[in-house]
Structure 1
Amino acid sequence: MNDILRPELVWIEGRCYRINDPTTENSPFQEHDLYENDTLNEFEEDDIDDVECEIVQMDVDRFSTSLHVSKHYIGSVIGKKGATKARICRDTRTDIKIPRQGENKDITIIGSSVANVKAAVRRINIIVMSSRMRQAYTHFVSIPMNSPEIVKNFEKFKEEVLRKCSGIDESLFISSAKLHITVGVMCLMDNEERLLASKLLTEAKDKCIMPMLRDYLPLRIRLKGLSYMNDEPQAIHVLYGCVEEDSAPPGLLQRAVDALHEYFYKAGFMEKEFNRDNVKLHVTLLNSKYRSKKNEKEQNATNSRPQRETFDGSEVLSTFGDFDFGVIEFNDIHLSQRSTVGPDGFYQPTCVISCLSL
């Protein structure tokens, strides 16, 4: 159960909101908790100035805008028997027109002032982005770590581990072509959301990443050393390689990745994993879930749920703890599709941003 004194926070359009316990039965999203202080009469200029939308003046006292919302979230905007939509309309004094099922249209919002329209947009965004956080992720921002040198050394590492360490199954290893650093994960339900995420990645590169890296290009990253996610090396789920700067001050990569994650976080697309302030920089090498996937068909045949079994990595850590996989240049950042592989063996990209030049 969540600590009621430290409820979950979500960033929407650069602002922070509090969400009630998401495990509460029949109430995955507590609308009143987000809106309790947001009545129209209490809006201040800085409340809506950060809402970005194109508003058109229809006539003397009517303004309108259109807002894309994936069909997967329309039900959340409408609410039970239309209650959520009705409340937004009432509180913001707007008329909200939601496309019917099967119509490929955006939501239209009409109000008597720009402030009213922006207020409605913000409230809908809060609902959509909070709902997004409760979906299984479809995409992730990644930094490929599959240079020829690293791939060659990883295959050597794999071969030696299988030969020297008992109890390690080959199915635990990630494909060498998929080696990467994960910046953060997100759920993108349609092409409009994918385009928006691509735009955010481009903006973050220009505003956050490149200003930090400009004096150290091309940034070289070394993959060296092993660590693990759990407390017990005899019961590991994820064994990973550590990363460090090879040609730049220590901590530069961490600051750049944190800034990138923060940009998506404040846009409402990413969460902070385990409420950490920093992204855990790592390159997964062995993962118990890969073995689980291998046995999934057999388990499905018996109607049993796939179970992840830990593995004993203590011998791997003691024998190869300082293994040096080599260096890669930080050339680009990918918006990668989960569980989809491209022709090069890496995750299929939705967007690739180059970090080679300003």
Structure 2
Amino acid sequence: MTDLLHPELLDVDGRVYRVLATSLASASGRRPGSHPQRTQQRHYEAGDDAGEEESSWGGGGGEAVGCGGGGSQNDEQASVPIRQEGDSFVARMRLDSDLFPVLIGRQGATKRRVEDDTGASISIPGRGTQGAPVVIKGPSRGIVARACTQLDLIVGQALAARGPRSLDYNYFLCLPLATPELSAAFESWRDAVLAEPGAAEAGLEASVFMHPQHLHLTIAMLKLYSEEQRDLAKQTLAGLQPRVQQLLGGAPLRVRLQVLEYMNDDPSQMHVMYLGVKDAPDSPGSLQRVQQLCAAVVEAFSAAGLLLPQDDRAVKLHATVLNTRYRRRSSGSGSSGPGQASGQAQQQGQQQPQGRGQWEQRRPFDGRQLLQRHGAVDFGAVQLPAVHISQRGQPAGSASGVSDVATGFYRCAASLALS
């Protein structure tokens, strides 16, 4: 039995963790790995004697959440299968290449530390390599499991971290809105706003507007940096089908998009403007059903361990139409999409990441004239066809893959039809 006052300590990349004897999965009766990230959160606690200086990839972002399932080191569980190959035991972690620098560390320090601490050897593919696994090899199953656990913790710190070197959200859950009719109406409204005298002086330019084909209601942001996570996200979404049928009863889900709102108290210093979401005239109670749907999605993805702690919250339904974060598109750095920053950061106009290590100050716009002359806009009722897991920065038809050429919406990793 573990001595709770003097537990085993585990040093991972300069941070010290207490190793508890029983994992959440074991305590709850779940199969190991069924809710991997939640298991990871509960299984380790940051030690009081951890160094004050945070790792460049860790800390400051809430609890660590890893790419795979946790497990007690005593029962030799790991987040990935461990197989015996000859005289050695081998595990393969299929992670995106964005995580390789995290596992290697500065001048290879992180990789060496894990190898020295566990006795395992770790082979990490070269920079930019896609599809090749991280290979963990050792003389016993327990050694390999321990190394996998440490790597999971390191990945979890990277995913939870915030700052100029943090890993960006790369997927998001949403309700697509764009139809040919809505896109055309939005373009006409945008052009009318930009044609107003003084629009440029107010800080309004085409780049701060959402692409008409990208209009959507965001449910939650996701960091899915492994095939295991993406597969789990797809399974979680598909598993919501019975709940969706119960909520909607097969009836179409329609909402009305009207009236501009904004996220801060000073209309002369705006960063985000969005459309309110109301009941459709021909579908009373639709807004409540959408809110119930979003709550069910968030609950399921939270239970699966796919949401970071700061993203596990109630959904505020809105359709973003302007965001100063999109100004970066003028320098050719990408297309518009759901912002990485939290709503609070958007409201305050804080510096936003423009790629790892590159931050710039967001410039607000004066929205007073826009609100006065165009704020009462009504785009009418829109039917919500599905819940999507969409990939950020990947509009359909791009070189990386096609989901829906007809709409030009973001690349869809998975969808759940609503009717």
Determine helix, strand or coil for the equivalent of 1:14.
Answer: helix
Provide Cα deviations, 1:250-286, integer angstroms capped at 9, x if missing partner: 444334334434655666665455x672233321112
What's the offset of the Cα at 1:241? 0.9
Q: Distance in 2 between matches of 1:85 and 1:108?
A: 11
Does 2:114 match 1:74?
no
Matched position secondary structure for 1:121: helix
Q: Find the counterpart in structure 1 of residue 343 from structure 2.
A: none
- 1:95 equivalent among 120, 123, 133: 120
SS in 2 for 1:136: coil
Aligned to 1:346: 408
Are 2:114 and 2:150, in contact at CA under 8 Å, matched by a contact in 1? Answer: yes
Matched, 1:287 2:313: no
User: Is it true that 1:202 corresponds to 2:234 in the alignment?
Assistant: yes
Aligned residue type for 1:280: K
> How far 1:213 sits from its partner (Å)?
4.7
Across the two proteins, how many residue pairs are aligned to each other? 323
Structure 1 pair 281–70 and aligned structure 2 pair: CA distance change class (3 A): same
Following TM superposition, by how much is the alpha carbon of 1:108 offset from its aligned partner in structure 2, in angstroms?
Answer: 2.5
RMSD over aligned CA atoms reads 4.4
Contact in 2 for aligned 1:213/1:219 (Cα 8 Å) = no
Is 2:186 the partner of 1:154?
yes
- In the alignment, what sits opposite 2:390? 335
Overall identity of the aligned pairs, in % = 25
Code of the residue aligned with 2:370 in structure 1: it is V
Contact 1:288 1:309 survives alignment (8 Å): yes
Residues 97-136 of structure 1 aligned to structure 2 (within 5 Å): 97-99=122-124, 101=126, 104-110=132-138, 112-113=140-141, 117-133=144-160, 134-136=166-168
2:173 maps to which of 141, 159, 170: 141
Q: Secondary structure at the match of 1:13?
A: helix
The answer to whether structure 1 residue 29 and structure 2 residue 83 are counterparts is no
> Which whole-Å deviations, capped at 9, do the CAs of 1:275-332 have from their partners, x for residues lacking one?
67223332111223445644789xxxxxxx9653322223433455453312232222
Is 1:176–2:201 an aligned residue pair? Answer: no
Instruction: Return the alpha-carbon distance in structure 2 between the equivalents of residues 44 and 327 of structure 1.
Output: 57
CA shift digits 1:79-99 (9 cap, x unpaired): 4565544554566x5523314
Aligned residue among 268, 278, 282 for 2:314: 278
Residue equivalent to 2:267: 233
Unaligned runs of 5+ in 2: 1-34, 65-71, 161-165, 334-358, 398-404
Task: Please give the per-residue CA displacement for 1:170-216, whole angstroms capped at 9, x wherever unaligned.
Answer: 51432221211233444566xxx3x4454233222233465145441
Please report how far the alpha carbon of residue 222 of structure 1 lies from its aligned counterpart in structure 2 after TM superposition: 2.6
- Assess if the C-alpha contact under 8 Å between 2:302 and 2:312 holds in 1: no
Residues in 2 aligned to 1:56 and 1:187: alpha-carbon distance in whole angstroms: 28
Q: Contact between 2:258 and 2:275, CA under 8 Å: does it hold in 1?
A: yes
CA change 1:351–1:329 in 2 (3 A) is same
Q: 1:163 to 1:82 in 2, by over 3 A?
A: closer
Q: TM-score if structure 2 supplies the norm length? A: 0.61
How far apart, CA to CA, are the structure 1 residues paired with 2:185 and 2:291? 24
CA pair 208-14 structure 1, distance change in 2 beyond 3 A? farther
CA distance in 2, matches of 1:166, 1:278: 38
Cα separation, partners in 2 of 1:76 and 1:146, compared to 1, 3 Å: closer
- Say which SS state the counterpart of residue 154 (structure 2) adopts: helix
Give the Cα separation in 2 of the matches to 1:126 and 1:261: 24
Verify the 8 A CA contact 2:57 2:102 in the aligned structure 1.
no
Q: Deviations over 1:13-39 (max 9, x none)?
A: 213266799994764426xx97xxxxx
Query: How high is the TM-score relative to the length of structure 1?
Result: 0.69
Task: Give per-residue Cα distances to partners, 1:2-60, cap 9 Å, x unaligned.
Answer: xxxxxxxxx96213266799994764426xx97xxxxxxx8576xx87x543233558x
More helix by share: 1
Cα shift readout 1:94-119 (whole Å, capped 9, x = no counterpart): 52331464784431344634x65444
The answer to whether the Cα contact below 8 Å between 2:253 and 2:286 also exists between their aligned partners in 1 is no
